[in-house]
Structure 1
Amino acid sequence: MKSPGQEIFDYVGQQSELMGYDTYDHLPMESENVDYPFVQVGDYDIVPIPNKSAIGAQVNLTVNVWGSEDQRLEVDTMANSLLMLLSKRSYTPHFRFIGMLSGSSVQMLKDTSVPGTVFHHAIVQMKFNLI
Structure 2
Amino acid sequence: MIDPYQEIFEKIIELSNESGYATFDYLPDESQAYPFVYVGYQQNIDRITKTRFLGKTHIQLDVYAEHNRRFEVSRILNDLLNVIQHHRKTAHFTYTVVNSESQIVGDNTTDIPLIHGILELEIQYS
TM-score (norm: length of structure 1): 0.87
Question: Are 2:123 and 1:114 aligned?
Answer: no
CA distance in 2, matches of 1:52, 1:86: 29
Query: Which residue is equivalent to 1:124?
Result: 119
Which of the numbers 47, 50, 66 marks the counterpart of 1:49?
47
1:40/1:64 contact within 8 Å kept = yes
Aligned length: 126
TM-score by length of 2: 0.90
How high is the sequence identity, in percent, across the aligned residues? 29
Matched residues in 2 for 1:76 and 1:67: separation?
Answer: 11
Q: Could you say which residue in structure 1 is the equivalent of 2:14?
A: 14
- Which consecutive unaligned segments of at least 5 residues does structure 1 have? none
Give the RMSD, CA atoms, in angstroms: 1.6
Corresponding residue of 1:105: 101
- Looking at structure 2, the residues matched to 85 and 51 of structure 1 have their Cα atoms a distance apart, in angstroms, of 30
CA contact (8 A) 1:59 1:128 kept: yes
Unaligned runs of 5+ in 2: none
Segments of 4+ moved more than 4 angstroms: none
Contact 2:15 2:84 in 1 (8 A): no
How far is the alpha carbon of 1:35 from its aligned partner?
Answer: 0.8
Q: Aligned partners of 1:126 and 1:114: how far apart in 2? A: 26
Give the whole-Å Cα distance in 1 for the aligned partners of 2:87 and 2:120.
17
